[in-house]
Amino acid sequence: MDTARADAAVIGLGHVGLPTALGLAEIGWRVVGVDSAPERVAMVADGQAPFYEPGLQDLLTAHHRSGRFLVTDSLADAVARAEVLFVCVSTPQLPDGAADLSAVEHVARTIAATLNGDKLVVDKSTTPVRTAERIKGVLSRYRNGAHAVEVAVNPEFLQEGHAVHDVLHPDRIVLGVESDRARALLTDLYRPLLDRLPNPGECAVCDRRGVTTDRSDRVITTNLETAELIKHAANSFLATKISFINMVADLCEVTGADITQVARGIGLDPRIGPQFLGAGLGFGGSCLPKDVRAFIRIAEDHRVDFALLREVAAINERRADRLMEKVRSALWILKDKTCAVLGVSFKPGTDDVREAVSLRVVTRLLAEGAAVRVYDPVAMPAFQAAVPPSPPVTYCASPYEAAAGAHALLLLTEWDEFRTLAWDRLRAAMAVPVIIDGRNLLDPAAARAEGFDYFSFGRP
């Protein structure tokens, strides 16, 4: 690798860092990426996306060729090349719910020891409020030389499954800064992005989200603490919406109301909005569950009793139980029955199974003596690595193969391809035609008309 300077360094090439780095390359910047996992660096250097994310491989290939994205395994090397350093390392959860910030601290110390010029350290990792203060403390304690080094907070709001879209079409850019210099550096970096935002009618995803068309509206400049809090508040609010609608779904089930229509009826109020009102198995993934727990913990640390969020988490924990109740009510005894599980990623568009409800459901089915046959279009390798090897799960090449001999088909992830399953093939494959739809994906009337015993969440 050459030793050319870069316009930005991206530290951590995970689900946030890699799309961010490639997005910056796509809008014209020269970017150096670095990761502490040598196998990840080797894959990326070889032009191979290390995880499934639509559009990511194409972008990697393009900027492998353009030369605007370079990768190194040396943090010091990456730091030395750029003035703006995006910190995108993971902040996993500790047993007490708090975020483990050791990777952030390590990066801050290395930056301090490597200073070869002025730097702006931009925290993009999801970190508790006042982490930026801590980073500032580390930088001043361990710094080497007299260069100007500042900290900014620039949270990322991308969703897995359309990360590339979200990086290139952000609905907002939050800049927590402490100086005109920091604001100018970041605004200049993001300007090409703002300049090429789609107009109404040009991007279906932006149109669906009702994103404002005023480009200047999308940048919000705050102090460091506000930017940090925005990130946790955003994810916790989304989680609250989901837990809220799931409780309403439970109420629908006992009253005969239909949660789909309730969600539409409330979501058309622009103050509420239609998104994140999908009832079912609740929220998984590497962000919402962890961030809700971290926010509860942050509140506790500051002696604020956020009981509302504790309940949001507790409601979510119970969603797998609700599914199991439905399975038991359909099958009574699970021992020696066969369950087909369609979808194991925590949501469609990703092979990520972190905190996926499928892990809990499959573990319980196996513990109760059922045989489990799984199909997912991309996430089976990740699922196989995450689920205990015994008792074994059978991995299948299609939904119909998974359905073979099954007494119930459990739909756990709403992949598009499950919307158009051939009823006759399913019915012919299954021992008993029972569908338990954890994501309210299928039409109940159509499933029943095809002879299936069909159960979903909050729908008659």
Indicate which residues carry an active-site annotation.
287
| CB distance 90 to 124 below 8 Å | no
Select 18 or 139, whichever has its Cβ closest to ligand UGA.
18
Does 157 sit near ligand UGA (CB under 6 A)? yes
In the set 72, 90, 126, 440, which binds ligand UGA (CB under 6 A)? 126
Does 276 sit near ligand UGA (CB under 6 A)? yes
Q: Distance of CA 78 to CAs 140, 225, 228, 335, 383, Å?
A: 20, 27, 25, 55, 33
Q: What is the Cα–Cα distance from 139 to 148, expressed in whole angstroms? A: 10
Please provide the distance, in angstroms rounded to a whole number, between the alpha carbons at the two ends of the chain.
Answer: 61
Does 235 sit near ligand UGA (CB under 6 A)? yes
In the set 23, 33, 170, 284, which binds ligand UGA (CB under 6 A)? 284
Does 282 sit near ligand UGA (CB under 6 A)? yes
Ranges within 81-120 binding ligand UGA (CB under 6 A): none
* Token pair listed for 54: 């639509």
Does 346 sit near ligand UGA (CB under 6 A)? yes
Select 14 or 33, whichever has its Cβ closest to ligand UGA.
14
- Count of residues interacting with ligand UGA (CB under 6 A): 21
Shortest reach from residue 279's CB to ligand UGA, in Å: 7
Shortest reach from residue 293's CB to ligand UGA, in Å: 13
Does 124 sit near ligand UGA (CB under 6 A)? no
CB atoms within 10 A of CB 198: 15
Shortest reach from residue 81's CB to ligand UGA, in Å: 26
Three-state SS at 34 = strand
From the list 285-293, 361-369, 378-386, 417-425, the region that binds ligand UGA by CB under 6 A is: 285-293
From the list 138-146, 151-159, 188-196, 369-377, the region that binds ligand UGA by CB under 6 A is: 151-159
Q: Hunting for tokens 């040396």 — which residue is that?
A: 74
In the set 69, 283, 418, 452, which binds ligand UGA (CB under 6 A)? 283
Select 72 or 235, whichever has its Cβ closest to ligand UGA.
235
Edge-first strand listing for the sheet containing 84-87: 69-72, 31-34, 8-11, 84-87, 119-123, 149-153, 173-176, 219-222
Select 287 or 341, whichever has its Cβ closest to ligand UGA.
287
From the list 154-162, 205-213, 293-301, 403-411, the region that binds ligand UGA by CB under 6 A is: 154-162
Q: Compute CA 51 distance to the chain's CA centroid, rounded to the nearest angstrom.
A: 13
Shortest reach from residue 196's CB to ligand UGA, in Å: 21
* Token pair listed for 150: 């500042």
Shortest reach from residue 299's CB to ligand UGA, in Å: 18
Do you find a cis peptide bond into 391, omega within 30 degrees of 0?
Answer: yes
Find, among 437, 435, 460, the residue nearest to 450 by Cα.
435
| CB distance 372 to 303 below 8 Å | no
Q: Distance of CA 392 to CAs 106, 269, 295, 363, 364, Å?
A: 39, 47, 37, 10, 13
Does 174 sit near ligand UGA (CB under 6 A)? no
Shortest reach from residue 235's CB to ligand UGA, in Å: 5
Select 18 or 430, whichever has its Cβ closest to ligand UGA.
18
Select 81 or 231, whichever has its Cβ closest to ligand UGA.
231
| CB distance 63 to 358 below 8 Å | no
From the list 42-50, 51-59, 115-123, 271-279, the region that binds ligand UGA by CB under 6 A is: 271-279
Shortest reach from residue 337's CB to ligand UGA, in Å: 26
Residue nearest to ligand UGA (CB): 278
| CB distance 444 to 460 below 8 Å | yes
From the list 82-90, 182-190, 195-203, 283-291, the region that binds ligand UGA by CB under 6 A is: 283-291
Three-state SS at 66 = helix
Shortest reach from residue 252's CB to ligand UGA, in Å: 15
Torsion of CA 404, 407, 413, 418, to 10 degrees: 50
Q: Distance of CA 358 to CAs 38, 120, 362, 438, Å?
A: 30, 41, 6, 10
Does 383 sit near ligand UGA (CB under 6 A)? no
Select 82 or 245, whichever has its Cβ closest to ligand UGA.
245
**Total residues found in the chain within this entry:** 460
Q: What is the Cα–Cα distance from 204 to 206, expressed in whole angstroms? A: 6
| CB distance 121 to 149 below 8 Å | yes
CB atoms within 10 A of CB 270: 8
* Token pair listed for 425: 């093939």
In the set 19, 285, 399, 444, which binds ligand UGA (CB under 6 A)? 285
Shortest reach from residue 243's CB to ligand UGA, in Å: 9
**Residues at the site binding ligand UGA, with contacts judged by CB under 6 A:** 126, 156-160, 235, 238, 242, 276-278, 280, 282-285, 287-288, 346-347
